Amino acid sequence: MKKLRISPPAAALILAVTLFLLSGLLPNGFGSDMSIARAQATNIVRLAVFLGVIAAGQTLVIISGSEGIDLSAGSVVTLTAILAYVMIKGNDSMVLPAIGVVILVGALIGLVNGIGITYLKISPFVMTLGMAGVVKGLIIILNHGNVSGKVAPIMTSIIARPVVFGIPGAILIWVVFGLFMWFLLERTPFGRNLFAIGVNRITSTLSGIHVPRMNLATYSLAGALAGIGGFLLVGNTGVVFISLGDPYLFPSIAAVAVGGTLLSGGKGSYWGTMSGAIVLTLITSLLTTMQMPESVRRMVLGGTLLMLISIYGRQRALRQ
């Protein structure tokens, strides 16, 4: 007796496609016009890229277990976006150095998170929440005299515009990014050990894994990835403001959960997070198209999240 088992990422993707097709039936939907449908779909995926990249670091810390979470991701995104903006000043040649700086700054903030969690035994929730506050403070200091800067033309043309076959550069970047994340999780000792410490840290230590080092590396990497997220985001918006990254924080956690990664750690995938980011972006944009008020949008988003996670929970119970 073989049971059909749909993995959570696939389930999320199927949900996204179904919702999208249904949305065509709406009064102001794409109807039977395939070119509009294609443009809408592309746009939604393009918007999902930023949430998806910001949620990459979140995926890693959540997989690492022991209540791993990064609540400083939103602030790090804002900070690195501002840094990139200020450094580049519309100058294409400053793009590469800026990428280096945002990665470094993000990694440094992540490292401090990791040190607090690993050695001072502060819970990840509290540590990263505190860090979010500290980074916020830094942003205000930086922003005090009103930052002046500009994104480089090359960023806008690559990130925000179509590059080949009408596919926006952001999506291509995301695909490469997704491959990198898959490689990291599935084909490196770091990835294998990350799942291991997420399930059981005693077993991991007794099998020779340096758990504290892994923890530091994971939080640093998460910070660096949030930094890249900030860079991409500013390339898309072209402007910076003090709460630029904030709206991405909770969706980044939700995307990880919707993608089937266990919030308790030890199991999950980045392609799940990618599906999760697409679902969440799709629902938000559909509700906006339907001109739903903010209150309804929030309720529907929250409800979807609860529904999906309860379904995953049931699947697990059935398998035991």
Partner 1 sequence: MTVLLSAQNIVKRYGGVIALSDGNLEVSSGEVVALVGANGSGKSTLSKIINGVVVLDGGQLLLDGVPVQFPSPQAARKMGIATVFQELSLIPQMSIAENIWLTREPLHPTGTVDQKEVTERTKRLLKLFEGTFKTELTPDVSVSSLQPDEKQIIEILKAISVDPRILILDEATASLDSRQVSRLFELVATWKLSGKAIIFVSHRMEEIFRIADTYSVLRNGKTVGSGKIKEVTEKELVNLMIEKASVFTHARQNRAGAKELAQKPVYLTVNALATDVLRGVNLQVRRGELLGLGGLMGQGQRELLRSIFGYIHYHGTINILGKDVHYRHPADAIKDRTAFVPGDRGKEGLLYIRSILENILLPSWKEFGVPTRMKKAHEVAVGVGESLNLKMAGLDEPVSSLSGGNAQKVVIGKWLKRKPQLLLLDDPTKGVDVGTKAEFYKLLANLCDEGKTIIFYSSDDEELVGLCDRILVMHDGNIRTELVDRMITKRNLVAASLGASEEEQHE
Q: Which residues bind partner 1 (CB under 8 A)?
A: 1, 3, 183, 186-189, 192-193, 195-196, 199-200, 202-210, 262, 266-267, 320
Min separation Cβ 123 and partner 1, Å: 17
Closer residue to partner 1, CB minimum distance, 196 or 253 = 196
Which residue has tokens 């409800």?
A: 303
Closer residue to partner 1, CB minimum distance, 130 or 266 = 266
Cβ-contact 77, 226 below 8 angstroms: yes
Closer residue to partner 1, CB minimum distance, 119 or 140 = 119
Phi, psi angles (nearest 5°) of residue 163: -110, -60
Min separation Cβ 309 and partner 1, Å: 17
Min separation Cβ 218 and partner 1, Å: 16
Min separation Cβ 249 and partner 1, Å: 28
Closer residue to partner 1, CB minimum distance, 62 or 131 = 62
Closest C-alpha to 160, from 87, 233, 243: 233
Question: Strand runs (DSSP E) across 87-229, as ranges?
Answer: 162-164, 167-168
Closest C-alpha to 274, from 263, 296, 258: 258
Closer residue to partner 1, CB minimum distance, 38 or 187 = 187
* Separation between Cα atoms, residue 109 and residue 113, nearest integer Å: 6
Min separation Cβ 160 and partner 1, Å: 33
DSSP one-letter code for 120:
S
Kind plus residue range of the DSSP H or E element containing 31: none
